[in-house]
Amino acid sequence: MSFLQTLLHELQVQLRSEHQEITAGQVAEAAESERVNVTLPAGVMNRLKQQALAEGRSCSSLATFLIEEGLRRHGPLQ
């Protein structure tokens, strides 16, 4: 069961006493993180895979770190 499915199930159990249904979309909107689909050039993806393997982490974890680091370096939004 995926994280969102588990969260949806838990919320539905909590709300059953109120006879309300909650949708997967509502759960996704309330989540503290979101999924993004990014298409990377082959060379960039290969570098990401190699670096993640060297660091013993997943590509997703490394990509998240690199995006966060890039945003910190970019500075505050104006």
pLDDT digits (tens, 9 = 90+) for 9-40: 777 776 665 556 667 777 667 777 788 899 99
Output the six-digit token pair for 66.
Answer: 């690199």
Nearest to 66 by CA among 46, 78, 51: 51
pTM for the structure as a whole: 0.57
Nearest to 31 by CA among 11, 49, 51, 59: 11
Contact 62, 48 (CB under 8 A): yes
pLDDT in tens, 33-77: 788 899 999 999 999 999 999 999 999 999 999 999 998 888 776
- φ/ψ of 49, rounded to 5, equals -60, -45
